[in-house]
Homo-oligomer: A and B are copies of this chain.
Amino acid sequence: MKLRPAVMSPEAFRDFGDVITSHGRSPRLINAGTSQRFDDVAIPDLAEGMGRAAIHLFRTEGRTLPVHVDVMERHPLGSQAFQPLAAIRSLVVVAHGQPEEGAIHAFLTAPGQGWNLKRGIWHAPLIMLGPCEVLVIERAPAGDNLDLMTLSSPIEITL
């Protein structure tokens, strides 16, 4: 199966999670007017009472196109936010429901744009199109919070 990514946007990504961006949002002024504050650019859902919020760094290789996806994963107990710390683009591959042909969508982010996956959304492991570090905000501990599925046929993603 071949897939071309859509442009990442809050509207297109709504069913899967949040786009971490100030674009299109209304700020309020803080710190004596020296800062604008955009609240709740992502809504963590960390299964309160069952775990804790955790902040990790992932240091990833850069992938080159076409990218092949043959495994997808989901985290049933919590959301998972990704914020690249360099101006690198990502391919965010997610599924509506089960990860089956026709239900899988790919999004191309803007350089440095972050995103937050809703709890339980099937997704491909992190795909960055250049080497970078990515801040990850998720639920800990990881135990019992990872389901993996091998796809019956790999997906090839091209631009």
Task: Tell me which residues across on chain B come within 8 A of A85, comparing CB atoms.
Answer: 83, 85, 112
Total interface residues in chain A, CB < 8 Å: 44
Closest to A113 in B: B85
The 6 closest A-B pairs by CB, nearest first: A31-B125, A42-B55, A53-B53, A44-B53, A38-B57, A35-B60
Can you name 9 A-B residue pairings with CB atoms under 8 Å? A36-B58, A37-B56, A37-B59, A39-B56, A39-B140, A41-B55, A48-B49, A114-B135, A135-B135
Stoichiometry (number of copies)? 2
Q: Does A96 contact B (CB under 8 A)?
A: no
* Contact between chains at B35 and A59 (CB < 8 Å): yes
Q: Is the interface of A mostly helix, strand, loop or mixed?
A: strand
A71 to B20, CA, bound (A): 30
A141, chain B: closest CB distance, angstroms: 10
Rounded to whole angstroms, the CA-CA distance of A135 and B42 in the bound complex is: 10
**Residue of B32, B43, B125, B137 touching A137 (CB-CB under 8 A):** B137
Instruction: Given the known inter-chain contacts A40-B140, A49-B48, A59-B38, please indicate yes or no for A125 contacting B54, CB distance below 8 A.
Output: no
Indicate which residue in B32, B56, B112, B125 contacts A125 across the interface (CB closer than 8 Å). Answer: B32
